[in-house]
Chains A and B, each alone.
Chain A
Amino acid sequence: MIQFQYVKPSKQKAAIDTVAKDETAMFIAGGTNLVDLMKRGIVNPEKLVDINKLPLRKIEKEDGHVRIGALALNGAVAEDKLILEKHPLLSQALNAGASAQLRNMATVGGNIMQRTRCNYFYDTAMPCNKREPGSGCGALEGYNRMHAIFGHSDKCIAVNPSDMNVALIALDAVVLVSGPKGDRKIPFAEFHRLPGDTPQIHTNLQKGELITSVDVPEHPYTKHVNYLKVRDRTSYAFALVSVAAALDMDGSNIKSARLAMGGVAHKPWRLNEAEQFLAGKPANEATFRQAAEIAMRGAKAFEHNKFKLKLGPNTIVQALKNAAGAV
């Protein structure tokens, strides 16, 4: 039997101290990712610190933002009135992820932290620099259909599989963390990393740091939003490519836009230049196509994911069309 200790502290400080001090300790929230990884021998914590007793489940309106507790369930956030009203893009992204059963277990903190679904990462008989630094990247010259077209390195070409993260980066969310050295705020765009030479380091969260909540600032994108996820089956599959599109419209003109992609990089991929291009333009297919072309600059595909070079821009165009048309 895999032996591990299990503790369920009711004080945040106790939880943080335990993980900070013990090299082999990890937080567990919904367990929907971590337990799978443990069963397959990919991560082997000797101590699990269950954080479910901590009071981090609330979704509340505060000055200038909505604060979502790290333990709020994916399903609960997606259906929350405040979220539907203020951040419908986030709701759509959450509902595009996993299945209803999983969304009712999975937490916001766990979703941010979920590991890649790269086939080679999951099979301990295969090489993978992320799982076993130095063993090589199985996907680079292997089956890389699901893999990155932006920001990859020759050490790792994996993608961040989360749908929620794509909406959160588009909405300029901020991650609030608490650690042994105190509290800090990490802008969403700086939370996840590119693989570089250290694909085993997956985020900028430090050992022992706990995500306590996510702040989603106020913004005008409440009407014209769309999260479009293209996948190998209609539901319950990870994205081949997904796009979070949000428009602030003035009649048929775009005042400003937010645009991000999923399934294309080691982190949720914000498309700043395309956003700038869209601002002030008429909302039509030609504009969207140009924005998509700007968005795709610098993309580089591999043997099995070349289709993303075409599916990516197409999905951007369609998501923008949906957003512009959505009332």
Chain B
Amino acid sequence: MDRVDGRLKVTGAAKYSAEYELPNMAHAVLVGSTIAKGSIKSIDTKRAENAPGVLAVLHYQNSPKVPGYAQEAHPTEPKPAGKPLQVFIDNQIHFNDQPIAVVVADTLERAMYAAKLVKAQYNVDKHATDFNQNVPKAVLPTAAKRNPKHGLADYVRGKEDAYKNEPLKIESEYVIPTEFHNPMELQSIIAHWEADNRLTVYDKTQAVIGTQNAFAKDWGIPVENVKVIATFVGGAFGNGLHTWPHETAAIIAAKKVNRPVKLMLTREQMFTMVGYRPHAWQKVGMSATKDGKITAITHEAIGQTSSYEEFTESTLQQTRMMYTSPNVTTRYRILPLDVSTPIWMRGPGEATGAFALESALDEMAYVLGIDPLEFRLINHTDKDPEKNLPWSTKYLKEAMQMGAERIGWSKRQLKPGQVKNGEWLVGYGMGVGTFGANRGRAKVKGTLHKDGTLVMQSATTDIGPGTGTAMVQIAAQNLGLPPEKIVFELGSSLYPPSPSQGGSATVATVGSAVHAVCQALKQRLTSMVAGNADTSFKGATVENLTFKDGYVSLTASPSARLSFTDILKQQNLPELEVSEESSPDNSLRQKYSMYSYSVHFAEVQVHPLTGQARVTNMVSCADAGTIINAKTAGNQMIGGAVGGIGMALTEGGVIDHRFGRYVTKDFAEYHVPVHADAPNISSLFVNKPDLINNPNGTKGIGEIAIIGVAPAIANAIFNATGKRIRELPITPDKLI
């Protein structure tokens, strides 16, 4: 089925947050600091204030106070895990390009111009932005300090660091640079105080309800007084999962000038103000027997965070559960630097961890002289070795087989540098990905109208995967109504609550509530027809009825049928409304371990003289439960693969540590892949349901689409050239 909103998107009719026009709206532009650490000595705003059209220039000395800022976010001991940056509260500078002032004017151009006129003088402190120089300052995350059983705490299965004493082993270090989400749509917000204590925001966010709660708390107003609208989101990849300083700056500005205020970040600010995938160092030690049984893995990681907020991610999770190894040690640390706070980016943690783990697996396979696919199959595990639980479902082997066939894995030579296409060296590589098959709690309202249409509402968002489309399909299948008669509305805090769109959990979470709504509607329709004394439906139950094409019929004698419309008419009902909340069954979650899986196969060509590397074919296969919509699921896989190509070959942020300032802040210097970098990408699905996870049998796709892609490419490059590149991105200079 095509996307329900596809036409709106391609014709430009879909409205994104910055596209709303409110009467009397003003425009705001942020001014960023030019030092990484220290304090503002003085700030000169005179020229900006006198510039034409300027309504206000706000900074720490004159900004209206945000009442909620005063409350300690984490009152508990020991030391708090930090808190988000609070704008304009004091003169302290924590990172370069930190917002130090917001300029509000009647037009965007005037605000931009005036923003350039704001000049600050600083007391400069010595900053620390260089990861390598500061590694000794890495610490255990607070959560792990508090609770040694926490997922971020050190983990030992079997014997600690057991690989060290084994004869057949590898030990390697891996580095990934900072990567930026950079969705097409810039982060933007329109803040409108409709009354002193009533706020409406059109906000680019993945979390409608989370944002509503955050702003209500900030401003000390009732939650229901905050309305958050995010009907369309032009990509996010995770950077809409946090509330950021620019959002509060716009709300402060709107309060001050008493007009709606629109604030859209510039592309450069997208690199400094709304999170990123943190720079990470990793080390993997691995040992195996001659015949390919992994005996031990030790995986260590250090991820960058900011000085004011602890950001952590599950970098090492995959290592604990993916392979049979009896001995596994993981150690995770974070390194606070004078930079802004990272945020989850597609495949958060796992994509980073998989680069090291799956590269190490490839290295080990070469040491053993075993085909890397064979090596993974040997160490395949049919139960979760970390939790000692059966999997809800796991069809990774099937996925591997499909992918290997499609890419032509048999053409691969174990020895590197053997296959050529003209001057180009050809190589094949693979990488496996996994991510928790998460599910949360969501509520959906469904209204069946007497014209036979169903309207559902929930406060989830759609950052691009096609959430509305999937929900319509789930309802169509479960209720027996043609999809064109169904509408799914999302992206508004006025709708029943749903969690943020993150962690690949939306279809499992919200889809389950849609399923529940359909069940409830069927139940209600059944009671109505069953109570109808003079028909053949008398005494009918849901089980012996068929719901199809908007009709209810007796399964045993399909000629007796009634349309949903007629049922409502008979009951004199204009509509039938149900609201259902659905949560995961915790008892099942204690009995089973639930993950989605992917395996990626890459064919690359590398030019031996110029070091140019091209991915020439890519096959991504997923075990992601039931595939609701093959098109949108395929889009996810292809998008993830392209993201993975960027991670492997082109993307990386660079800071000039003398200034603690990024020197790669636009698309000329920070290279996202272009079409010429993306080959034909096939996405394949096992498409078998996981009914333990949820009644629709789905598991998430968004994250596993990228997790494992970068190592597949790096491994293919090794197979082509014999060069093992352990620091991303793999640019031509590393291959000559």
Contact = CB atoms under 8 A, between A and B. Distances in A.
Interface of A: 1-2, 41, 117, 119-120, 122-123, 125-126, 138, 141-143, 228, 230-238, 240, 307, 310-311, 314-315, 317-318
A315 B609 contact: yes
Contact of B669 (A119, A307, A311, A317): A119
15 contacts: A1-B52, A123-B661, A125-B661, A126-B659, A142-B658, A142-B663, A232-B732, A233-B673, A234-B676, A235-B676, A238-B668, A240-B732, A314-B609, A314-B611, A318-B610
A230 B612 contact: yes
A147 to B, nearest CB: 12
Contacts of B650: 232-233
A230 B113 CA distance: 38
Nearest to A161: B668
B677 A233 contact: yes
Interface string B592-613: 0000000000000001011110
- A contact face: mostly helix, strand, loop, or mixed: loop
B677 A314 contact: no
B585 interface: no
Contacts of B107: 1
Given A1-B109, A126-B661, A234 B614 contact: yes
A142 B656 contact: yes
A237 B670 CA distance: 10
Given A119-B664, A143-B656, A235-B674, A41 B609 contact: no
Nearest to B266: A39
B422 to A, nearest CB: 10
A230 B671 contact: no
Contacts of B649: 233
B674 A233 contact: yes
Contacts of B731: 232
A128 B109 CA distance: 26
A160 B624 CA distance: 49
Contacts of A236: 674, 676
A123 B662 CA distance: 10
- Residue of A126, A228, A236 ringed by the most chain B CB atoms within 10 A: A236
B553 to A, nearest CB: 57
Contact of A318 (B609, B671, B674): B609
Contacts of B658: 141-142
Nearest to B607: A318
Nearest to A231: B732
B116 interface: yes
A63 B280 CA distance: 62
Contacts of A232: 650, 671, 729, 731-732
A314 B733 CA distance: 11
A230 B609 CA distance: 10
Given A123-B665, A138-B656, A142-B658, A311 B610 contact: yes
Contacts of A143: 654, 656, 663
A41 B674 contact: no
B110 interface: yes
4 closest residue pairs by CB, A with B: A307-B733, A234-B676, A235-B676, A125-B34
B675 interface: yes
Contacts of B732: 230-232, 240, 307, 311
A134 to B, nearest CB: 18
B736 interface: yes
Contacts of A138: 656
Contacts of B116: 41
B610 A315 contact: yes
Contact of A314 (B610, B614, B668, B675): B610
A190 B533 CA distance: 100
Given A123-B663, A125-B661, A142-B656, A310 B677 contact: no
Interface in B619-669: 649-650, 654, 656, 658-659, 661, 663-666, 668-669
B668 A117 contact: yes
Contacts of B609: 314-315, 317-318
Interface string B72-86: 000000000000000
Contacts of A317: 609
Given A230-B610, A314-B611, 11 more contacts: A117-B669, A125-B34, A142-B656, A232-B732, A233-B677, A237-B668, A237-B671, A240-B732, A311-B733, A311-B736, A318-B607
B100 to A, nearest CB: 12
A149 to B, nearest CB: 13
A311 B674 contact: no
- Residue of A142, A230, A234 ringed by the most chain B CB atoms within 10 A: A234
A224 to B, nearest CB: 17
A298 B53 CA distance: 55
Contacts of B611: 230, 311, 314
Nearest to A98: B668
B184 to A, nearest CB: 15
Interface string B261-288: 0000000000000000000000000000
A43 to B, nearest CB: 14
Contacts of B607: 318
B509 to A, nearest CB: 36
